[in-house]
Amino acid sequence: MSIIVYVSTKGGDVLKSSLEAVSYAAQTAETSNQEVVAISVGKVNSMDELGKYGANRLIQVQSSSISSFQPNLIAKAIHEIVKMEGSNLCILSHDLNGKAIAPILSVEMNAGMVTGAVGLPDNSDGFMVRKGVFSGKAFANIKILSENKIVTVMPNSIEKKEFKNTTNVEDVDIELGTPRITVIDQKIASTDVPLPEAEKVVSAGRGLKGPENWQMVEDLAKELGAATACSRPVADMDWRPHHEHVGQTGVAIRPNLYIAIGISGAIQHLAGVNQSKVIVVINTDKEAPFFKSADYGIVGDAFEVVPKLVEAVKRLNA
Amino acid sequence: MKILVCISKVPDTTAKIAFKDNNTSYDTNGVQFIINPYDEWYALVRALEIKESQGGSVTVINVGGAENDPTIRKALAIGADDAVRVNTLASDALNTAQNIADYAKKEGFDMVFCGKETIDYNGSQVGGMIAALMDMPYISYASKMNIVESKATIERDIQGGKEVLEVEVPFVLSAAKGMAEARIPNMRGIMAARTKPLNVIEPSNTDYMTEIVGYELPPAKGECRFVDAENPEELIELLRNEAKII
Ligand SMILES: Cc1cc2nc3c(=O)[nH]c(=O)nc-3n(C[C@H](O)[C@H](O)[C@H](O)COP(=O)(O)OP(=O)(O)OC[C@H]3O[C@@H](n4cnc5c(N)ncnc54)[C@H](O)[C@@H]3O)c2cc1C
C-alpha cells in the first residue's frame, strides 16, 4: 500500500512546507512498510529533494483546466490518484494550499481528518495524532476512526529525516472539468519565505512608537535571515501590513527563533507565538508579561539595543 | 442575496485553558464564551454589509447544545435576521459540516460564509467541507469581497501572497482579516435580538470520524536568562553557542 502526499510547487520547486509533509509521510511509511507517493499538479523541476525526504514516486498530474489555484479540482485530482493507488492515508501541509484543499478532499474520500499535526501518528491503539489547540495554548490527541484518513502537517513542527530514495516520475492526465473560479490578479510577495514557514522571526510592537522606526527591525531580520512580524495594534494602525500580524487572531507561527521587540506579551499575542523553540524578549519594562515566556531577555530600550544587535550579527556573519 | 453565516462558540481569548476528567475534557468552569472572532468580525459583519447595501437576508447557524443560545443571540443583536441551531455536539468537523450542508441545501442560499478557523480547535475544516458537500466552489481565507448581481470579486490569501478572483454564486468562503471591521451591538439590536427567531433543529447526521482522546498543556517554560542591556552582543553569542540557533 502507499501513503499519498500532496506537494505544492512554486516555479517548479517544491515548497518547504510540502517537503515537511513528504518527510512526515516517509516517517509514517517507515514504520508500516509502505511506499510514499507524492502528487503534484504540474511539473516538478528536481527530484533530488523529494527523494532526500523520502518520496519513492512522484505522480505529476497534467490537466489543462488547472492553470491557477483551484482547490476543488486539485482535491478531485488527488482523490483520483488515491483511488488508483488504493491508498487510505493522504498527507498535506497545513499551509494555505493544504487548508484550502484538505477539507474538500476529506469529503471526496469520506475521510476523518486531523489538521495541523505536530507529531507522527501513534499506531499503538488505533490511529492517533497530536495537534495544537486553543491557538497554541494546549495540545489534543485525536483519533481518526474512519478507514480513510487525512493528516495535514503544521509547518515547522516536524524534524525532517533524510532518506536516500530515488523518486520515479510518472505523468498522468486527468480530466477534471471546468474551473468555477477565474483568477484575475495575483500579488506574490518577493522570494522571501512566508511568515508561517520562517525558521527565524523578528517581531516588533507598539513600543517602537511609529512605522518610521522599523528600519532597525528589518536590518536585524535581514542579517539573521529572518522574516518580520508585528503585534496586532501595529497592523491595525497600518504601521505594518496585515499579513505580519501574529497571535491568536493573526498568523500562528512556530519558528526556531522568535525575537519580540517592544511587545508587552498579551495573552492573545502569546497564543500565536509561544510554540516557538527559542523566544527572545527586548522590553524597557522588566515587568512586561512576555519575559515569563522568554528564554532570553534584555531589559532595555529597543532604540539602543537593536542597532547594537544588528552590528553584532554583522560581525558574526562577516 | 440570501446568506448563511456559520458561527462557532469559543472561549474568550483571555480564558484560562484547563482540563478535567483526567485531561479528557475542557474545563469550562468560569469561562466566558464568545462568537469565534473570524466568524463574527469578518464573516458576519461582511454578510450584514452586503444585505444592507443590496437587500436579502442573513441567517446564522450554529451546531451545538442549548448552552450556545446566548452566544447565538449576540449574532442576532449584531444584526442577523434569524438563527438556526442544530442540536448536537460539534466535536467532529465533517459531522458539523454535514449538518450545516444538509440544512443549507434544503433552504437554498446564495452564499455561505465561515471564519477561516476557530480559535479553539484551529481546524480550518468546516468551510471547505460544506463547499464539497454542496458541490460549490470554495474560496478560503478571503480578505475582501464584493458582489455585483451574481458575480463576486474576492481577494484571498494564497501561499506567499494574495490573489483576486471572480466567482458566480452560489459559493462558500472562509473569511480572514480585512473583510470587514468588527461591530459592537447597540441597545436596539440587543432588544430586537430577544424576539428574532432562533430555530432549533435535530441533526441529520450523527456519524463521527474523529474522537478527542485527551489534552495536554505545553511544558512550563524555564527561567528567562537576562542579558545586560549594555552588552547585547552577549545575546548573539548565547544564541549561537548555547541555543545553537543562529
Ligand atoms: C479578542 C482579541 C484578540 C487579540 N488578538 C491579538 C493578536 O492576535 N495578536 C496580538 O499581538 N494582539 C492581539 N490582541 C491585542 C492584545 O491584547 C494586546 O493589546 C497587543 O498584543 C499589544 O500589542 P503590543 O505589545 O505591541 O503593545 P503594548 O501592549 O502597548 O506594549 C508595548 C510594549 O513595548 C514596551 N516598550 C515601550 N517602549 C519601548 C522601547 N523603547 N524599547 C523596548 N520596549 C518598549 C512597553 O514596555 C510595552 O511592554 C487581541 C486582543 C483581543 C481583545
Tens of pLDDT, residues A74-83: 999 999 999 9
Distance CA A27, CA A162 (A): 10
Q: Average pLDDT over chain A, rounded to whole? A: 95
pLDDT recorded at residue B147: 97
Phi then psi for residue B93, to 5 deg, are -60, -45
* pLDDT tens figures, A288-308: 999 999 999 999 999 999 999
Cα distances from B176 to residues A156, A254, B155, in angstroms, run 22, 20, 10
List, in order, residues 6 or more apart from B140 with CB less than 8 Å away. A71, A96, A99, A100, B116, B124, B127, B128, B156, B157, B173, B174
Q: What is the average pLDDT across A47-51?
A: 94
Same topology between domain A2-173 and domain A195-317? yes
Nearest to B177 by CA among B46, B66, B27: B46
Options 3.40.50.620, 3.40.50.10480, 3.40.50.300, 3.30.70.1520; CATH of B2-217:
3.40.50.620
**Does ligand 1 have an atom closer than 6 angstroms to the CB of A301?**
yes
> Could you tell me if A93 and A76 are in contact, meaning their C-beta atoms sit under 8 angstroms apart?
no
Q: Do A242 and B177 touch (CB under 8 A)?
A: yes
Average pLDDT on A66-81 reads 94
Cβ-Cβ contacts under 8 Å, B181 against chain A: none
Is the beta carbon of A240 within 6 A of some atom in ligand 1? Answer: no
Burial of B219 (0-12, 13-18, 19+ CB in 10 A): exposed
Q: Report chain A residues whose CB lies below 8 A from the CB of B114.
A: none
pLDDT higher than threshold 90 for residue A143: yes
CA dihedral B90, B96, B102, B106 (to 10 degrees): 70
**Contact yes or no for A296 and B37 at CB 8 A:** no
Q: A290 C-alpha vs ligand 1 centroid, how far in Å?
A: 10
Quick one: closest CA in B to A267, which residue? Answer: B14
What is the 8-class DSSP label of residue B196? S
Instruction: Let me know how long chain A is.
Output: 318
Contact B110, B50 (CB under 8 A): no
pLDDT at residue A139 tops 90: yes
Q: pLDDT band at A201, cuts 50/70/90?
A: very high
A268 within ligand 1 shell (Cβ under 6 A): yes
Q: Where do the domains of chain A lie?
A: 2-173, 195-317
> What CATH code is assigned to A195-317?
3.40.50.1220
pLDDT at A191 over 60: no
pLDDT surpasses 70 at A17: yes
Going by pLDDT thresholds of 50, 70 and 90, the confidence category of residue A67 is confident
Confidence of residue A189 (pLDDT cuts 50, 70, 90): confident
Do A113 and B209 count as a contact with CB atoms less than 8 A apart? yes
Note the pLDDT of residue A146. Answer: 97
pLDDT above 60 (res A237): yes
Q: Which residues contact A282 (CB under 8 A, 6 or more apart)?
A: A259, A260, A261, A262, A297, A298, A300, A302, A305, A306
Mutate to test the interface with B, among A18, A78, A106 (most CBs of B within 10 A): A106
**Radius of gyration over every alpha carbon of chain A, rounded to an integer in angstroms:** 21
H or E element in which residue A312 lies: helix A302-317
- Superfamily assignment of A2-173 in CATH? HUPs (3.40.50.620)
* Interface test with chain B among A79, A222, A280, by most B beta carbons within 10 Å: A280
Beta carbon of A77 within 6 Å of any ligand 1 atom: no
Mean pLDDT of A164-186: 93
Q: What is the DSSP letter of A287?
A: T
Residues of B in contact with A294 (CB under 8 A): 221, 224
The answer to whether B40 and B72 have CB atoms below 8 angstroms apart is no
Q: How far is the alpha carbon of A316 from chain B, nearest alpha carbon, in Å?
A: 9
Cis peptide before A179 (omega within 30 of 0): no
Q: Is the pLDDT of residue A68 over 60?
A: yes
Query: Could you give the strand order of the β-sheet that contains A278-283, starting from the edge strand earlier in sequence?
Result: A227-230, A200-204, A257-261, A278-283, A296-299, B225-226
| pLDDT value at residue A192 | 67
Q: Is A248 helix (H, G, I), strand (E, B) or coil?
A: coil
Model pLDDT, residue B195: 97
| Strand (E) or helix (H) holding A143 | strand A138-144
pLDDT, mean of residues A94-112? 97
From the list A219, A180, A224, the residue with the least C-alpha distance to A201 is A224
10-residue averages of pLDDT along chain B (246 residues): 98 95 96 98 98 97 98 98 97 96 98 97 97 98 96 94 96 96 95 97 94 93 93 95 94
Q: Find the A12 Cα to ligand 1 centroid distance in Å.
A: 40
Is B243 close to A295, i.e. CB distance below 8 A?
yes
Q: Quote the pLDDT of residue B24.
A: 97
| Protein residue whose Cα sits closest to atom 7 of ligand 1 | A247
* Chain B, nearest residue to A220 by Cα: B236
Does the distance separating the beta carbons of A297 and B227 come in below 8 Å? yes
CB spacing of B159 vs A108 below 8 angstroms: no
The total of other beta-carbon atoms located within 10 Å of residue B27's CB is 14
CA dihedral A193, A194, A195, A199 (to 10 degrees): -30
Helices (H), chain B: 37, 45-54, 69-78, 93-107, 126-133, 187-195, 233-241
- Confidence (pLDDT) at A193: 72
Ligand 1 binding pocket mutation candidate from A220, A261, A267, A284 (most atoms within 8 A of CB)? A284
Question: How far apart (Å, rounded) are the C-alpha atoms in residues A234 and A244?
Answer: 9
CA distance A201 to A228: 6
Q: Which sequence spans correspond to the domains of chain B?
A: 2-217
| Residue A264 beta carbon below 6 angstroms from any ligand 1 atom | yes
Whether residue B238 and residue A296 make contact (CB cut-off 8 A), yes or no, is: yes
- Evaluate if residue A190 carries a pLDDT over 80: no
For the cut 90, the answer to whether the pLDDT of residue A108 exceeds it is: yes
